[in-house]
Structure 1
């Protein structure tokens, strides 16, 4: 009986033992895994990205980014049109529809052609799509509490972070593989707006450019795990 009781205590304390690593250490290990030579700061690419959504299954983007200069270009299909959203090395933004500056206010609103939106497009592809290593360039508060959970059927460290500058929201839950610190995905939360539902994004696969390893697939779900869409990095263009 005594041995049995002792065995139960071992199981209890083993299952409830807190992770030995801090949230900061887990994040640093994951960033090192994804960007071992600190190449993100000079990363340049031109990528073809399929972005099917429930209401827009044919969405396709071609994204050009130069992290050294800040230059950015997004080309995206808009019905029978192509929009082009640019930011030059001086930070000046301009947008075209079918290679022309559109004057029709209805089309500008419909296709989101306002040049002021371009910085948000760049932030999505430069920061969100390149998580977790892009956090090196962000200001944020990282919760000290580390929880081990199941995320997409994998054991994961769950870290909570509050960004100074939001990506959709300031409040994110980040998930890292317990076995090798691979970034598994995140939850976008809206604690300041209880009526707005959060999203869960599963990061999977590997896309490698100059030893920067980011996720090839981003699958968007709501918190009920209902599918919303995907971002699929198809190939690098020259």
Structure 2
């Protein structure tokens, strides 16, 4: 009798182990959910992001992104001021209220430098290209898929590091175990200090066949302090 029980335990253990998802399988399934028709590599569209933050006025960002042509335009509107960064491959131009003639003072005030524009281009391309961007060179997927409970819900969790020169932070991506939708991500500069932030994703907006998160709410890891919310809108 004991032998039979042991055999059953080992059998079910092997079945469970055999069904355990790998990091690459999890990422493939999430990409299939968010980008079922492989549109990210040919993405060419415009969308708007409204940022709401405590004790500050709203900021509207209009993003025009053309992946095949390596073009990116970000137009920001806040407090009756409009400024932009435009990239055609690595050629960069900036403008303030429609003019490319920008004083040194205004450049400092609004961060109108190509260096700042590159940061914004990488920021929007990365966040709105997830989870597809996790297939980019220099992205290191941890072999083990973890199971974690976050804010009362159980997730499949993928840990991601980056090669030197690509990124320094450690990221965790949380996926719904039934649909494989990405619902949370979290990053640390130094995980031992519990620094960095986590981002809660809610709702979906279809932009050129890609299911992008409708809202992203940002919080500090260390104290759950709310930082702000990005709301995605079709142009």
Regarding TM over 0.5, the answer is yes
1:177 lines up with 2:176 in the alignment:
yes
Aligned partners of 1:140, 1:183: CA distance in 2, in Å?
17
**Does the 8 A contact of 1:62 with 1:76 survive in 2?**
yes
Q: Taking structure 2 as the reference length, what is the TM-score of the superposition? A: 0.85
> For residues 30 and 154 of structure 2, what CA distance do their matches in structure 1 show?
15
What is aligned with 1:129? 128
Q: 1:200 aligns with which of 195, 198, 201?
A: 198
The Cα RMSD (Å) is 2.6
Q: In structure 1, what is the equivalent of residue 187 of structure 2?
A: 188
**Secondary structure of 1:180 counterpart:** coil
Query: Which residues of structure 1 form unaligned runs of 5+?
Result: none
List per-residue Cα deviations over 1:14-61 (Å, max 9, x = no partner). Answer: 9xx777111121111111111112111111111121011224341111
Aligned residue pairs total 223
Task: Say whether the 8 Å CA contact 2:95–2:102 is kept in structure 1.
Answer: no
Q: Who is 2:220 aligned against?
A: 222
**C-alpha deviations, 1:67-117, integer Å up to 9, x for none?**
1111111111243311111001x4201111111134432321221101222
CA contact (8 A) 1:43 1:68 kept: yes
Q: Secondary structure at the match of 1:126?
A: helix
Unaligned runs of 5+ in 2: none
Q: Does structure 2 conserve the Cα–Cα contact (< 8 Å) formed by 1:190 and 1:197?
A: yes
Q: What is the aligned partner in structure 2 of residue 70 from structure 1?
A: 70
Change (3 A) 1:34 1:60: same
Distance 1:212 1:138 in 2: 21
In 2, distance between residues paired with 1:138 and 1:95? 29
Name the CA distance, whole Å, in 1 between partners of 2:127 and 2:134.
9
Q: Is the 8 A contact 1:37 1:211 kept in 2?
A: yes
TM-score relative to the length of structure 1: 0.84
After superposition, where does 1:88-237 map in structure 2 within 5 Å?
88=88, 90-164=89-163, 165-166=166-167, 169-191=168-190, 197-223=195-221, 224-235=223-234, 237=235
Distance 1:196 1:110 in 2: 32
Change (3 A) 1:98 1:49: same
| Distance across 1 between alignment mates of 2:151 and 2:183 | 8
Q: Distance in 2 between matches of 1:197 and 1:110?
A: 28
